[in-house]
Structure 1
């Protein structure tokens, strides 16, 4: 039997402007999410990602466009299916737990139209799924931040929604809990098979949790792709910068490749268009060659001079300049501290030629 790969959620040309606003909070966004997938909406504060999430939930009505959930149109123009009829679960940023209810009562709050036995069974199953079996009689104030988040998640999962929405779910957690809770949350969500949309401004959360990442900027969808593609193949300097340090240096086209300030780079299997005049890479893509090591079979060896070195614990951040007077700079991560003025030989793998510049120049 062919697996169901039809999208659970489709957004078609959705736009939203708040009353009195001069610009669109969401501007002509179209995307789709497949069954069981996790989509991360990423962007800076004010980018429109939370507005888009609230529009999916039904808390905001779009001015234009359509939303389709499991084949049913739930919003089109100013007409929308009410929130309580969308079968959508949501975990809010502040969890919004009922303080006067126990964990079990919070989880069972949304379970309507069933017998007490059915309700009890679902609560017990959800408690087990979220590792809360030992605490059903406790109240929210008696729990840690991580446990409160799991209660909020359990309450959203108990009615078995078609889609789960997570609004900045890790913002109230300290750095020690953050990574562990994120890993637990992904395991729980994947175990249910429920399609999930996560809103976050933490790019590490998006890359590690999501199957697809959508970058939102000024209300527009800039890029939607798999995490590795977003990180290694950004479509603009803005997207590249959002996901961490990178280098982007000017090149001059030559036969079979590009001449960089650090040496010649072959084109490889990449077709270089006339607009592609810069080389893009991440710090970890630059591999320093030890003294007297042979030239690798693949790629050209580049040369440069260490301008600055910073020890950061698990790696040393190195800034390399060309041997000539050009202003280009490369940032790389090394396992050895190199004093400024040291000559380095290195290769870049992988790399790509791009037609975008630095985000400040765009």
Structure 2
């Protein structure tokens, strides 16, 4: 069994009296060597949660501990520099007047200048920037600045690394390659990490587990595959990617839908809101099967390796994801067939 490194238990944090708190009774754990993501829209409390873990803010209630050591509770608040936690800021926060080597070495204190430089060159080699050690930050690309910030954060060998939207300012192509490089480095060094992001693809591809946040609370925690394929609420289903919502009646785990009978996960009977991912819908020709209502293709978006179609059935439009070989065009009449559906808790009215 993996061991827990970080434990966040029922933390709450507000900044304005008589106003709802920004973070509301959040609990989660991060295991040794694990990459965990907090995913949610702007203003949901994810960065505040990260700052509470780092020690930049003190929780109003709840506890934070790391490796069985209390960092924050009603009586204790360990300062950031004493927590053994590294932090990579969204804007990297590099010193403009210091070169790469000096910026990285700044992250290591209480050792001789010689040892700081030796360790700085060691981590610069890890991130592939040894040959740029004498450059100033404004002479670096965005990806290079990001790696300098990462090197500075890991130079002191932290047990935990906190990443606050670290890839958001990079171009899409560079964002993906840098993300892969950072992930490989974290796994190679065995460093646990908490990533904060609003980008679904980033969280799904970077983290081993993630928590989806909404208005200061955690809606669901699990592996990326589990949370994406088995959302518990309509909010999680919608935030993790495009989906089709359908109201249906369920009996013995089977729902009657405009696409015929569909097996449902999460409910055995009664009325329910179903989430059906676009890739779980198929388009077939009308003469192949005659027991579902026909629809008309009203939209088509080509994305190189796949298509996203919109099909209208009884005045409602549904999204369907197919591969690039799909033959249907706008205006075609088709039947839809659902492979599976998940019953989710509707959003509050």
TM above 0.5? yes
Structure 2 partner of 1:305:
295
Structure 2 partner of 1:348:
338
**1:145–1:185 CA distance, 2 compared to 1 (3 A):** same
Structure 1 partner of 2:278:
283
Structure 2 partner of 1:237:
234
For the pair 1:124 / 2:121, whether they are aligned, the reply is yes
Is the 8 Å Cα contact of residues 62 and 78 (structure 1) preserved in structure 2? Answer: no
**1:97–1:304 CA distance, 2 compared to 1 (3 A):** same
Is the 8 Å Cα contact of residues 297 and 334 (structure 2) preserved in structure 1? Answer: no
Is the 8 Å Cα contact of residues 312 and 318 (structure 2) preserved in structure 1? Answer: yes
Is the 8 Å Cα contact of residues 34 and 191 (structure 2) preserved in structure 1? Answer: yes
Mark the runs of 5 or more structure 2 residues left unpaired by the alignment. Answer: none
Q: Which of 241, 245, 249 is the matching residue for 2:246? A: 249
Cα distance in 1, alignment partners of residues 18 and 172 from structure 2: 36
Q: Aligned with 1:198: secondary structure?
A: strand
Structure 2 partner of 1:92:
89
Is the 8 Å Cα contact of residues 204 and 224 (structure 2) preserved in structure 1? Answer: yes
CA RMSD in angstroms comes to: 2.3
Is the 8 Å Cα contact of residues 309 and 316 (structure 1) preserved in structure 2? Answer: no
Cα distance in 2, alignment partners of residues 301 and 208 from structure 1: 39
Q: Which of 304, 314, 319 is the matching residue for 1:331? A: 319
Is the 8 Å Cα contact of residues 88 and 163 (structure 1) preserved in structure 2? Answer: yes
**Correspondences of 1:123-162 after superposition (within 5 Å):** 123-162=120-159
For the pair 1:273 / 2:263, whether they are aligned, the reply is no
Query: Could you tell me the TM-score, scaled by structure 2's length?
Result: 0.91
Cα distance in 2, alignment partners of residues 63 and 94 from structure 1: 27
Is the 8 Å Cα contact of residues 259 and 338 (structure 2) preserved in structure 1? Answer: no
Is the 8 Å Cα contact of residues 282 and 336 (structure 2) preserved in structure 1? Answer: yes
Is the 8 Å Cα contact of residues 38 and 196 (structure 2) preserved in structure 1? Answer: yes
Cα distance in 1, alignment partners of residues 253 and 24 from structure 2: 41
Deviation of the 1:76 alpha carbon: 0.1
Is the 8 Å Cα contact of residues 264 and 302 (structure 1) preserved in structure 2? Answer: no
Q: Aligned with 2:132: secondary structure?
A: coil
**1:73–1:250 CA distance, 2 compared to 1 (3 A):** same
Mark the runs of 5 or more structure 1 residues left unpaired by the alignment. Answer: none
Cα distance in 2, alignment partners of residues 72 and 256 from structure 1: 46
**Correspondences of 1:1-362 after superposition (within 5 Å):** 5-20=2-17, 22-77=19-74, 79-254=76-251, 257-266=254-263, 270=265, 272-275=267-270, 277-289=272-284, 304-314=294-304, 315-322=306-313, 325=314, 327-334=315-322, 335=324, 336=326, 338-349=328-339, 351-357=340-346, 359=347, 362=349
Aligned length: 346
Deviation of the 1:275 alpha carbon: 4.8
Query: Could you tell me the TM-score, scaled by structure 1's length?
Result: 0.88
**1:27–1:271 CA distance, 2 compared to 1 (3 A):** closer
Q: Deviations over 1:32-52 (max 9, x none)?
A: 000111111111111000110
Cα distance in 2, alignment partners of residues 127 and 21 from structure 1: 48
Cα distance in 2, alignment partners of residues 194 and 271 from structure 1: 36
Deviates more, 1:183-192 or 1:223-232: 183-192
Deviation of the 1:243 alpha carbon: 1.6
Deviation of the 1:77 alpha carbon: 2.3
Cα distance in 2, alignment partners of residues 84 and 333 from structure 1: 48
